[in-house]
Structure 1
Amino acid sequence: MVSNGDKIAIGVSGGKDSQLLAIALKELARFLPERLELVAITIDLGFEDFNRDRLLKFYDKLKIDYHIEKTNIAQVVFDVKNEANPCSLCSNMKRGAIHNAARRLGCNKVAFAHHKDDVIETFLMSLIYEGSIRTFAPVTYLDRKDITLIRPMIYCEESLIRSTVESLDLSPIPSTCPVDGNTKRQLIKNLISGLAEENKHIKSNIFGAIKRGDLNGWGS
């Protein structure tokens, strides 16, 4: 995933996943023989209660170069488009914004904090809501942007991330999105949780199927 001389933009929101990813990559850069340069990028969606001060302090303490990209994504998604299911459009616009910012800052890679549960949930969302069999891969090259996306925590379960964040006494910033907790992803998360009560292997079975199917760059 990483090579000598990489300049990696970490996509950060203030949530637990991206906080832990930033810490992990900073520690990794200290011990790897390869030379890595890290920058952190937050996409300011335009919500009024965006808390930039806590983010600035967090990345200043980590000594990671930090950039906030102001956008009007919230206005476009909720006011102009008035999306009934805004997550897909918002996600696409955020990705585009962070890819552009990363290229402008001279980065050749972008690191996202997606984890194992995200992979499984995205797979089921694609299957149920789109009728397609897909999810994101550990490494993806975007030829139009000439940038590589990496997901270093993709084999980590969300429960491990949560417990690690608690043990490090981190203080994730709550989401300011008005539909947070009331999304298709949350429905899928609840569905998986319910199925896991009957079959504790549900997550590992789905994840294994993704790998065995060599889906989107996944392979054994």
Structure 2
Amino acid sequence: MSAVWTESENTAATASADAAPQRLKIERETHKLEKRLCREVGRAIVDFNMIEEGDRVMVCMSGGKDSYGMLDILMKLQQRAPIRFELIAVNLDQKQPGFPEHVLPEYLGKTGVPFHIENQDTYSIVTRVIEEGKTTCGLCSRLRRGILYRVADELGATKIALGHHRDDILQTLLLNMFFGAKMKTMPPKLVSDDGRHVVIRPMAYVAEKDLVRWAQHREFPIIPCNLCGSQENLQRVQVGEMLREWEKKFPGRIENMFSALQNVVPSHLLDGTLHDFKGLKPTGVASEQGDKAFDPESFVAPSPAGLNIVAV
């Protein structure tokens, strides 16, 4: 019996020893992920002057991984930021059937962050106005926006923070190009359409895959976004899948696309309101921005292996 006991002890000890390096690896990767998230959110805040001394930031919470991640990271940055600012989390309960209304209040109550739950039955309005089978997102979004602007006024919020990330911004760019014939996306900071609020997207630089991993690590109580049943065939979903497929086949392409949004050359596009094509005259001065009309274009593109190659 003692021999069997000893053998069992040895087996358990071996298994524990084998698991230890794996645990350390997971801890290291999680620590790196947290640092990256804080760094990217902090960089966006600084680059676009999103949060200033004394701001009261209304953090819009939907119950999805993105808004949970945004609040979580902003709370961490609040503790170490060189300026003082307040956070208040806000959720709009739109009375969708099956919405677990207890989840967010219970979670937010544990964080210690002040929060407000706004109850408005927009679901009934949308289902009454929109024909069955049609996408309800447009009207739902407009109603939600108006309510959140009002709540921001009532709470004295100076900034409204939305949880859109880098992939959302790229999806919006492609959607506007494909279906709206516009070169336009979600800006990291803008004045609201009523002219009274400043809307910020602190996660503008954050990759969605990092938020997925962070949500899994933090075990956020995720509320599904398809409760209304209108999300399944959205063009945004299709574009998101296309971007993910590109990233698998051509690592680095998403980063290049996002960098392009910060390196715009109006003189090499076709918008006459941004560049005076009609009044263009030769200057006699050489310029790197000048058109090399007779030279073949060359691009530095990421190869499938992640190495840079020159494509001509």
The structure, 1 or 2, with the larger RCO (C-alpha pairs under 8 Å, 6+ apart) is 1
Question: Equivalent pairs: percent with the same residue?
Answer: 28
Which of 190, 211, 216 aligns to 1:161? It is: 211
Give 1:12 shift.
Answer: 0.5
Give runs of aligned pairs for residues 164-175 of structure 1, distance below 5 A. 164-175=214-225
Greater CA drift, 32-41 or 114-123: 32-41
Which of 133, 137, 162 aligns to 2:183? It is: 133
Greater CA drift, 157-166 or 83-92: 83-92
Give 1:16 shift.
Answer: 0.7
Give the distance between the partners of 1:196 and 1:73, measured in 2 at CA.
Answer: 37
Answer whether contact 2:103 2:221 (CA < 8 A) is retained: no
Which of 234, 247, 253 aligns to 1:183? It is: 234
Structure showing greater Rg: 2
Answer whether contact 1:119 1:135 (CA < 8 A) is retained: yes
Give 1:190 shift.
Answer: 1.6
Deviations 1:57-82 (A, max 9, x none): 11111111221222232223332132
Give runs of aligned pairs for residues 62-73 of structure 1, distance below 5 A. 62-73=111-122
Who is 2:174 aligned against? Answer: 124
1:100 equivalent in alignment to 2:150: yes
Answer whether contact 1:8 1:108 (CA < 8 A) is retained: yes
Deviations 1:25-66 (A, max 9, x none): 122222223221111111122212121211011111111122
RMSD of aligned alpha carbons: 2.0
Answer whether contact 2:67 2:162 (CA < 8 A) is retained: yes
Answer whether contact 2:58 2:87 (CA < 8 A) is retained: yes
Give the distance between the partners of 1:126 and 1:119, measured in 2 at CA.
Answer: 11
Who is 2:302 aligned against? Answer: none
Who is 2:96 aligned against? Answer: 47
Q: Which amino acid aligns with 1:207?
A: F
**TM value normalised by structure 2:** 0.64
Secondary structure, counterpart of 1:212 in structure 2: coil
Who is 2:254 aligned against? Answer: 203
Q: Which ranges in structure 2 are unaligned for 5 or more consecutive residues?
A: 1-49, 267-312
Give the distance between the partners of 2:189 and 2:265, measured in 1 at CA.
Answer: 13
Give the distance between the partners of 1:45 and 1:157, measured in 2 at CA.
Answer: 28
Q: Which ranges in structure 1 are unaligned for 5 or more consecutive residues?
A: 216-220
Deviations 1:101-127 (A, max 9, x none): 111111010011110000000111111
Secondary structure, counterpart of 2:156 in structure 1: coil
Secondary structure, counterpart of 2:102 in structure 1: helix
Q: Which amino acid aligns with 1:32?
A: A
Greater CA drift, 36-45 or 88-97: 88-97
**TM value normalised by structure 1:** 0.89
Runs of 4+ in 1 over 6 A off after TM superposition: none
Give the distance between the partners of 2:214 and 2:186, measured in 1 at CA.
Answer: 24
Q: Which amino acid aligns with 1:52?
A: E
1:214–1:61 distance in 2 versus 1, CA, 3 Å: farther
Q: Which amino acid aligns with 1:12?
A: M
Secondary structure, counterpart of 1:211 in structure 2: coil
1:46–1:196 distance in 2 versus 1, CA, 3 Å: same
Give 1:214 shift.
Answer: 7.8
Q: Paired residues, what number?
A: 215
Q: Which amino acid aligns with 2:229?
A: P
